Amino acid sequence: MALVELRDIRKTYHLGGEVIHALDGVDLDVDQGDFTSIIGPSGSGKSTLMHILGCLDTPSSGSMTLDGMDIHDATPRQLAKVRGEKIGFVFQFFNLLPKLSVAQNVELPLIYKGASSRERRERAMQALDLVNLEDRAKHRPSQLSGGQQQRVAIARALVNDPRIIFADEPTGNLDSHTGEMILETFCKLHEEGRTIMLVTHDPEIAALTPKKIEIRDGKIASDVDAKLSGRESRFKLNRPADT
């Protein structure tokens, strides 16, 4: 059984008299250890799909299981638990809490899990270590660069040791150099065996990931674009991580 299974997922918005099919029948399996990129034109439904996968939003119809759990039948409390403990979500706009320190931001999922303060501190430092930011633990998010903030967000996504990480255009708000560093982080995580899905506009980023999915008009395109397959990436991900 796949880690995530989507069957005929639809998401419909009603705006005035208009009906918008943001997702129009999506079937998708994600296996343990997959590193998948989702591409597609703007407005095609990538974010919508990610939100449903990340249990932040509910589909209008269709079924979804995550780690063997039927998401459709889950109570709000169970969904909150899944979000906190099985899923790590990285947003395009970082979404850190400006009033909390870096470490406190990273600890947040552990607080709601009910971990002791000592365990929280230890695991937050480990997660910050993974993104090479352990020396910034006491800083405020506003004192960090965009790339560093995104790495804090990744640390927050990692801190609960989730089954799967979703990232919606994690580099969309960063310059290409900084984006590269973020991608390196993801590649490193993939090599450690984590399951990652990321949304991107950039075909060159998509070219890095072993699996690629293209979405058009709320549907998964039957064939991944030929131009993407086998394409050489301009990224050379063997540099030591920037600190």
Partner 1 sequence: MNFWNTMFIGMKEIWAHKFRSLLTMLGIILGVSSLVAMSALVKGMENGMKEALVAMGGLEKVRVEFQDDLPPHQRHLTDQIPGLLMKDVYALQSGAPLVENITPIVEQHGYRTRINVTYRNKRARPWRLYGTWPGILDLEDHRVEHGRMFNEIDNEEARSVCVIGIELRNDLFGDPEKTGEEIIPIGQTIRINGQPFTIVGMFEHYMTEKEKKEKELAKLQAQQNPQGGVVRDKGRGSSGPSGYVFRLKNNSIFIPLKTMMIQFRAAAGLDEKADPRLSGIYMKVRDISLLETALQQIRNVLQVSHNGIEDWSFRTEEDLADGIQVTIKNFRMSGVIIAAIALVVGGIGIMNIMLASVSERVREIGIRKAVGATTTDIFVQIIIESLIIALIGGIMGLVVSIALVDSITAFTPTENNPVITGEAMLFAWGCSAMVGIIAGMIPAFKASKLHPIQALKYD
Ligand X SMILES: Nc1ncnc2c1ncn2[C@@H]1O[C@H](COP(=O)(O)OP(=O)(O)OP(=O)(O)O)[C@@H](O)[C@H]1O
Quick one: which of 2, 12, 21, 56 contacts partner 1 (CB under 8 A)?
56
Quick one: which of 30, 108, 164, 189 contacts partner 1 (CB under 8 A)?
108
What Rg do the C-alpha atoms of the chain give, in angstroms? Answer: 18
Does 76 help bind partner 1 (rule: CB under 8 A)? Answer: yes
Does 166 help bind partner 1 (rule: CB under 8 A)? Answer: no
Helix, strand, or coil here: 58? coil
How far apart CA 165 and CA 169 sit, in angstroms, is: 13
How far apart CA 165 and CA 103 sit, in angstroms, is: 20
Minimum Å gap between C-beta 31 and partner 1 is 24
Provide the mask over 189-228, with x wherever binding to ligand X is found by CB under 6 A and - wherever it is not.
----------------------------------------
Backbone torsion region of residue 67, taken as left when φ is above 0, otherwise alpha when ψ lies between -120 and 50, otherwise beta: left
205: Cα separation from own chain's centroid:
15
Provide the mask over 45-84, with x wherever binding to Mg ion is found by CB under 5 A and - wherever it is not.
--x-------------------------------------
Residue 48 or 195 having the CB closest to ligand X: 48
Does 43 help bind ligand X (rule: CB under 6 A)? Answer: yes
Does 122 help bind partner 1 (rule: CB under 8 A)? Answer: no
**Of the candidates 102, 74, 97, which has an alpha carbon nearest to the alpha carbon of residue 86?**
74
Does 51 help bind partner 1 (rule: CB under 8 A)? Answer: yes
**Of the candidates 201, 210, 91, which has an alpha carbon nearest to the alpha carbon of residue 157?**
91
Does 95 help bind partner 1 (rule: CB under 8 A)? Answer: yes
Quick one: which of 2, 20, 74, 112 contacts partner 1 (CB under 8 A)?
112
Minimum Å gap between C-beta 191 and partner 1 is 25
Could you write out the DSSP letters of every residue in 100-135? S-HHHHHHHHHHHHT--HHHHHHHHHHHHHHTT-GG
Residue 36 or 47 having the CB closest to Mg ion: 47
Residue 137 or 206 having the CB closest to partner 1: 137
Does 53 help bind ligand X (rule: CB under 6 A)? Answer: no
Q: Using CB atoms within 10 A of its CB, is residue 196 exposed (0-12), middle (13-18) or buried (19+)?
A: buried
**In Å, what is the CA distance from 187 to each residue of 11, 76, 88, 182?**
31, 33, 16, 9
Residues in the site for partner 1, rule: CB under 8 A?
51, 54, 56-57, 76-77, 80-81, 83-85, 89, 91, 95-97, 99, 108-109, 111-114, 156, 160
Residues in the site for ligand X, rule: CB under 6 A?
13, 15, 20, 22, 40, 42-48
